Chain A
Amino acid sequence: MKILVAVKQVPARDSALKADPSGAWILDTDLAYEVNEPDAYALEESLQLKEKYGGEVVVLTAGPESAARAIREALAKGADRGIHVETDDLHGLDSLATGSLLAKVVLEEKPDLVLTGLQSDDLGYGQTGVVLAELLGWPHGTIIMEVEKTDTGIRVKRELEDGWFQHIDMPLPAVLAIQSGIRRLRYATLMGIKKAKTKEVKQVKAADLEPSAASSLKLERVYAPEASGQCEMLPGDPKEAAASLVEKLRFEVRLL
């Protein structure tokens, strides 16, 4: 099974984020980046599917030069090769525009399966996989917790709301948006990191792909949310704060 997994690099989770004073985006100098967590799970599932059924895992990312690190990490974990669509303006693209970029690469690579995380931790549109599938004319599944090959394609386990699940059968090729937690994530081994250096990474300029769609959504202004002011912050060192919380729980919440 040839699998293409689309991953995105996003600011590290514990980053202190500030909006750019112009409101165009965030102040992104000095930020640490990491692989978008749901995408890390999509990569893990890709690698396990390859281990079970054989084939190839191609990791695809779009983003600035620094996003190459996301590919290296995936290669170190066991992906076979990488494709980097270079663009400095990924946050200015909506899902349709991003999907159009990725679709061009997928059409060239012709994988059996495209996997991606179900949403990104930065823009959080949560639809790149769905848009990509529609542009390709392929079926898709979202919020997927299990993937297994069948005689006619694949059977996936989709998470529904309130603790319900559902199996869905679909033919290949298909696109799946993977839910976090589908598998335990692996770490790259030293050997893997060494090997990654010899693996092929293809660079493509976004403009050269001539995507079929431009963005139809405009990010007009990025800003810090207005504080509602309802939260009473308890001051002091941990001991003092803990003591005043217990007081509040006793006399205001009347719980203790």
Chain B
Amino acid sequence: MSVLVYAERSEAGWHRMAREALAAGQDLARQLGCPAMAVVAGHGIGEAASDLAKQQFDRVWALDHELLADFTADGYTAALEALVKHISPDWVVFGHTYQARDFAAKLATRFGSSLVSDVVRVRIEDGSPVFVRQLFQGKLHADVRAAGKGPHFVSMQAGVYRPEQVMEGSAPVETLPLELADGVVRTRPQEPFREAENAVDLTSAGVIVSVGRGIKEKDHLPMAEELAKLLGGELAASRPVCDNGWLPMDRQIGSSGQTVSPKLYLAVGISGAIQHLVGMKGSKTIVAINRDPDAPIFEVAHYGIAGDLFQVLPALIEELKKRSS
């Protein structure tokens, strides 16, 4: 038995979740009592491979090819497929990043397997892993097992492991010779770009009042804005609010927006889907106002008010005005 973990690179070196994935892979291997290997893919990645070799792995695999210079699902699937066939791991571990979402399931399909995506916890029962996943945007959880002989594929949600949990050590590096046919990569990715620099940098705000779907319509935003002002903070939102065009996209918190950790994060009418939580759960104090007392947002909150925001917000505004006058 063995575990293979995929170390994702980014323009600036390692993807911020790479070390979390490495820690997850090491931990799974430790719990199963089997060897752990890591793999990095790209073109001209000698340095990345040697860097990876400073962690505790039984082997580091380098997949180096000119067709892997830019990420494509086609190219990276073909490269990983070759390695998985070569070393037959039982478990292949990814971080649940945008890149993994683009190719890990494709790779799994190629082996007649399904990706256990976005896992929040792993435990071993009767010698094999049970994965905990969120259903219904975190309202319920499910235990999932992978049947059949594998290889099995897993992606771990952000924050399940901490980067500093990676165990250091040393590993031999091996490069797998790759033969990738010319037609393998069918897509042509262009240079990444930014629409416009974020007009607002929410990362430096000390207080953030963030609104979600519960605000119901654009006309209700001034109330949240007033609250933000009274608290000396910025107004932000979860994705659906920005999707509706009620607030500009650069005020969005979450996996597709900004990641913040203010002193106070006040979540108003936000249920707490994981895509939002990853962008704010590092906040020092989290206050949640939501009419559903079972909403997942209360799981990360420090203080909660289960109630109608259209009553709570005016009361809160009045109370704050009273204090300041």
Contact = CB atoms under 8 A, between A and B. Distances in A.
Nearest to B243: A181
Interface in B176-229: 186-195, 198, 207, 213
Given A163-B194, A241-B315, A231 B243 contact: no
A96 B146 CA distance: 12
DSSP majority for the B interface? Answer: mixed
Contacts of B240: 37, 180
Contacts of A14: 292
A125 interface: yes
Interface in A141-172: 141-143, 159-171
B190 A216 contact: no
Contacts of B285: 253, 255
A217 B145 contact: yes
DSSP majority for the A interface? Answer: mixed
A123 B114 CA distance: 13
Interface stretch (B31-39, B50-58, B85-93, B317-325): B317-325
Contacts of B306: 233
Interface stretch (A58-66, A74-82, A199-207, A219-227): A219-227
Given A17-B139, A125-B117, A224-B140, A134 B106 contact: yes
B264 interface: yes
Interface string A128-150: 00110111000111110000000
Interface stretch (B19-27, B40-48, B94-102, B159-167): B94-102
Interface residues of B, number: 94
Contact of A231 (B103, B108, B288, B308): B288
Nearest to B102: A142
Interface in B286-325: 287-288, 292-294, 296, 298-299, 301-308, 311-312, 314-316, 318-320, 323
B191 A166 contact: yes
Contacts of A125: 105, 114-115, 117-118
Contact of A233 (B118, B239, B304, B312): B304
B181 to A, nearest CB: 14
Contact of A96 (B112, B259, B292, B307): B112
B242 interface: yes
Nearest to A166: B192
B263 A255 contact: yes
B110 interface: yes
A32 interface: no
Contact of A133 (B106, B193, B292, B323): B106
Contacts of A124: 117-118, 133-137
- The range of chain A's interface size is 35 or more
Given A223-B140, A253-B263, A168 B188 contact: yes
Nearest to B97: A161
B170 interface: no
Contacts of B174: none
A87 interface: no
Interface in A61-116: 94-97, 99
A50 B195 CA distance: 26
B316 A246 contact: yes
Contact of B106 (A126, A130, A179, A255): A130
A149 to B, nearest CB: 15
B264 A163 contact: no
A218 B145 contact: yes
A230 interface: yes
A118 to B, nearest CB: 8
A13 interface: yes
A169 B188 contact: yes
Given A168-B187, A218-B144, A163 B109 contact: no
Given A95-B105, A134-B106, A231-B301, A238 B308 contact: yes
Interface of B: 73-74, 77, 97-98, 101-106, 108-110, 112-118, 130, 133-148, 152, 186-195, 198, 207, 213, 231, 239-240, 242-245, 250, 255-259, 263-264, 271, 285, 287-288, 292-294, 296, 298-299, 301-308, 311-312, 314-316, 318-320, 323
Given A130-B105, A248-B303, 15 more contacts: A124-B133, A139-B186, A162-B259, A181-B239, A181-B242, A181-B243, A215-B114, A219-B144, A225-B296, A233-B304, A238-B305, A242-B318, A243-B315, A250-B323, A256-B231
15 contacts: A121-B136, A124-B118, A130-B109, A139-B187, A166-B191, A166-B192, A169-B187, A181-B243, A216-B112, A216-B114, A217-B114, A225-B140, A242-B319, A245-B303, A246-B319
Interface of A: 11, 13-14, 16-17, 19, 26, 37, 94-97, 99, 118, 121-127, 130-131, 133-135, 139-143, 159-171, 179-181, 184, 213, 215-225, 227-228, 230-234, 238-239, 241-243, 245-246, 248-250, 253, 255-256
Report the 3 A-B pairs with minimum CB-CB distance, sorted nearest first: A181-B243, A127-B105, A242-B315
